[in-house]
Structure 1
Amino acid sequence: MFFYDNYHFYSNKDCETLSLLYFYVMLKTFKKHIETNLEFLNDTRLIIAISGGVDSVVLSELCKSINLDFALAHCNFNLRAEESNADEDFVSELADQLDVEVFIQNFDTQAYADEHKRSIQMAARELRYDWFAELAEQLQFDYILTAHHADDNLETFLINFTRGTGLNGLTGIPVVNDNIVRPLLPFSREVIEAHAREHNIMWREDSSNSSRKYLRNKLRHEVVPILKEINPQLLDSFQSTIENLNDTADIIEESLDAVAKRAITIIDDNGISYKISEFKKVNNPKAYLFEMFKDYGFTEWNDVVALLDAQSGKQVLSNSHRLIKHREHIILTEIKSENFESISILESDAKVETLFGVLLFDEADAIFDNSNNVIYVDRDKVVFPLELRTWKEGDNFYPLGMKGKKKISKYLKDEKLSLVDKENTWLLTSNDDVLWVVGKRADNRFRVTDETNNILKIELN
């Protein structure tokens, strides 16, 4: 057997002597790591995500030894019958021993997985992190500590590698990700377990960790040992590789930021617009498109590239977003699942909240503003209640300043609006007649004339 202490490997003949030093060596190294790299954890309130396994128990012991202010948070996923309940009891006892607060949450993980069509592992992950975030927000904890270590980092790298990924999937688990912090990443599983054994630290073994059912376990038990046999300093080599890849990722990020800065023309509630010409200037448009849009769930990258030369209106969909070609731009927009219901506006309403702003209604003595977001109409021609709704095929109106009637669809096309803008066009109607294409054009039938006695001002803020 070999012990890895982040710097050297030792044979069996050295282990007996070294074991006596493990508590102090690991504690000293851990304390130095906190002081050098994670100093912000001092004087803050922390949650330690604890399963009862050796990694999270050792993390808790180490944090107690250096006097960090923390509470424990344990998830009982109810997947292993009495074993899950025994884990919960163990964590409660550990909290008593450490004299810290403990929070325990029970989940029906199988029901959640079935309802949301998730694997058990993904369901547990979502439940766990959602609860941690809720706990931190409600009770004002600053950071959530997890016990991921060097071997977890290697396994995650291999999982991403086998499934196919971009560079970001090969840069390892970040030590800090928002308010999630992983203080044990510099330490190997062997060092953590040796530390626990030599100092009589008790922990719980999860029986599912020995199963080959999950990819991570297959890699842990079958692949990683072979890699370590080939290269006894595998974790050292891996850490160097991760550092090199992260350096490369920084360079790529700078290049992406430069292209994005030149390409993005509009950011608003409807989405983000990118100039196609900026993607065509680079040597490998597909690579830039992938890095720019990979976090939005797109998978058909050849179709995304084809948008650069597609006709206006062409779309590529993911589960959550769309990329739409509009003239010389690509528009990224979220797919909205809600059904827009119409809003009824009474004569007594002076202020109406909408999805796209606030409508204000007031009397006016004269016309002072001709912007798209303000209209003045003949109050005596308006029939209440007004209706605010999205436009539909067959709608028409008499555009102010133009002669005759025009279909809304034709008007929007003539205005050269994108598909996204068309979908987010609302109408204010009076007795089924269009009073205002909101934010765009008023209807001529309600205009203020010399015959008008009462003026109604309608403003979009």
Structure 2
Amino acid sequence: MLAKFKKHIKRKFPELVGKPFLLACSGGVDSIVLAHLCHHTELDFAIGHCNFQLRGEESDIDEIFVKDLAFELSKSFFSTRFETMDYIAKNKVSVQLAARELRYQWFAEVMQENHIEILMTAHQADDNLETFMINLSRGTGIDGLTGIPEKTDTVARPLLPFTRSQILEYAKVENLAWREDNSNSDTKYLRNKIRHEIVPKLKELHPTFLENFKNTQQYITGTSKLAVLYIDQIRKTVFQREDGIIRISVASVLKLEPLDAHLFALFKGYGFTEWNDVKSLLTAMSGKEVRSKTHRMVKDRDFLLLAEIKEENTKDYYISNDVGEIHTPIHLRISQVLHVKETSKNVLYVAKETLKYPLTLRKWQKGDYFYPLGMKGKKKVSKFFKDEKMDSISKEKQWLLCSGDAIVWVVGKRADERFKVVDNTCEIVKFELNT
């Protein structure tokens, strides 16, 4: 196994050779074998151990055991203790999820503090099968069936090609000691139930079941990569990105077949899970929206508008007459000039004597109106937005520059006639929007 491991590291993980990494070690057979394999491969690593304090004295013995291993291998040792039950009560999560969140957050902190870029974990082939079964039982797309990734930008899992039986055999041949966690045999946990009751039955179906499963998962992974390339091409055709908003043609989406599969592939990366709601949005009235934890999707006429959810800035900002530049909520330069020069939507010239300080930057409100430059009479801002074909998200982001109760500028869109520079204007103020 050591020879295969060395070859595997050289072929798949060359970035680990000569570069320090953090090895997560619980004290169980998988992580103990991994530590010894890395040691005999002469890799440079430190050992990290988490004490979740869930098994009383047994947890403390695990910690001492791993610390002794680090000493034996002449490796740096990092450890921490968590108040796991308090975390579970506070966050209302399962034991397994709490342990995962706590340990990966701590590993990240240790790595940052010690300038370590890679975390190595001892996930192996049987873990991959168990994860596949868990995802399958809960309902999943193709990504949930591709298994645990062998590597990411920050995590390496070099034991994935090796089975639990191979790891146990190596440990016994090398006379390695390890710690047994009794909770791993408790079938009230889904993973343990699959490990002890379902996986053995599957392995009885064929003597090379696990090897066949690994091959099948490679095919699924390959198919998944092809699907990603296809969906990327669809996005390039259907998605139009502008000012942080993705505009998606409803008509283009409705042409995709099968529709449900395309919706899942196109929008799963934005956190959406209620697929009936997403599908209904295609035929909904304008203004209807669906939200995930991170994104919102709004129906706007013939388009879907997809944007990241951000805390909406609705407060008013005041500009005194001695201010030359502001950066919040928008970047605006303010100066006094002698003449009107270039004109554009991002530049406004105003007769200073028409202004009442402090000026106000605020969002539009129902009933707002202004006198659009070059037109006679007033116009509701809402009607102006409609004529400009502004979508609902852009309306929410739009700022108004006001003097008292009067709108001076729909910023970056249209000035107000009442504040324009005329022949007898004595002082001119220039506002320049930097986008």
TM-score bracket for the superposition, by shorter chain length: over 0.9
- Partner in structure 2 of residue 166 of structure 1: 141
What is the deviation of 1:228?
A: 1.0
- Partner in structure 1 of residue 415 of structure 2: 442
- Counterpart amino acid of 1:75? C
Structure 1 stretch displaced more, 104-113 or 148-157: 104-113
Aligned equivalents of 2:312, 2:256: Cα separation in 1: 38
Q: Deviations over 1:216-275 (max 9, x none)?
A: 111011111111122221111101110111121122122111111111112432x32222
Select the residue among 320, 323, 334 that pairs with 1:361. Answer: 334
- Counterpart amino acid of 1:398? Y
1:193 aligns with 2:168: yes
Seen in structure 2, the aligned counterparts of structure 1 residues 92 and 268 have a Cα distance that, compared at 3 Å, is: farther
- Partner in structure 2 of residue 419 of structure 1: 392
Q: Give the TM-score normalised by structure 1.
A: 0.88
**Any stretches of 5+ residues in structure 1 without a counterpart?**
1-25
What is the deviation of 1:324?
A: 1.4
- Partner in structure 2 of residue 4 of structure 1: none
Q: Give the TM-score normalised by structure 2.
A: 0.93
- Partner in structure 1 of residue 273 of structure 2: 299
- Counterpart amino acid of 1:215? L
- Partner in structure 1 of residue 15 of structure 2: 40
1:281 aligns with 2:255: yes
Aligned equivalents of 2:212, 2:253: Cα separation in 1: 36
**Any stretches of 5+ residues in structure 2 without a counterpart?**
none
- Partner in structure 2 of residue 350 of structure 1: 324
- Counterpart amino acid of 1:344? Y
Aligned equivalents of 2:80, 2:120: Cα separation in 1: 17
Q: Deviations over 1:360-416 (max 9, x none)?
A: 222222223322222122223323333323223233322223322333223222222
- Counterpart amino acid of 1:412? F
- Partner in structure 2 of residue 57 of structure 1: 32
Name the SS of the counterpart of 1:176 in structure 2: coil
Aligned equivalents of 1:342, 1:108: Cα separation in 2: 43
Aligned equivalents of 1:123, 1:345: Cα separation in 2: 48
Structure 1 stretch displaced more, 384-393 or 94-103: 384-393
Seen in structure 2, the aligned counterparts of structure 1 residues 267 and 126 have a Cα distance that, compared at 3 Å, is: farther
Name the SS of the counterpart of 1:165 in structure 2: coil
What is the deviation of 1:458?
A: 1.5
- Partner in structure 2 of residue 329 of structure 1: 303
Structure 1 stretch displaced more, 39-48 or 274-283: 274-283
Check whether the contact 1:377–1:446 (CA below 8 A) recurs between aligned residues. yes
Aligned equivalents of 2:189, 2:7: Cα separation in 1: 35
Seen in structure 2, the aligned counterparts of structure 1 residues 83 and 405 have a Cα distance that, compared at 3 Å, is: farther
Aligned equivalents of 2:175, 2:314: Cα separation in 1: 62
Aligned equivalents of 1:90, 1:333: Cα separation in 2: 50
Check whether the contact 1:259–1:278 (CA below 8 A) recurs between aligned residues. no
Q: Deviations over 1:180-222 (max 9, x none)?
A: 1111100111111221222222222222211112111110111
Aligned equivalents of 1:369, 1:313: Cα separation in 2: 38
Check whether the contact 1:345–1:387 (CA below 8 A) recurs between aligned residues. yes
- Partner in structure 1 of residue 77 of structure 2: 102
1:315 aligns with 2:292: no
Structure 1 stretch displaced more, 258-267 or 427-436: 427-436
What is the deviation of 1:167?
A: 0.8
Check whether the contact 1:326–1:419 (CA below 8 A) recurs between aligned residues. yes
Q: Percent identity?
A: 49
Give the count of matched residue pairs. 434
Seen in structure 2, the aligned counterparts of structure 1 residues 103 and 405 have a Cα distance that, compared at 3 Å, is: farther
Name the SS of the counterpart of 1:114 in structure 2: helix
1:84 aligns with 2:59: yes
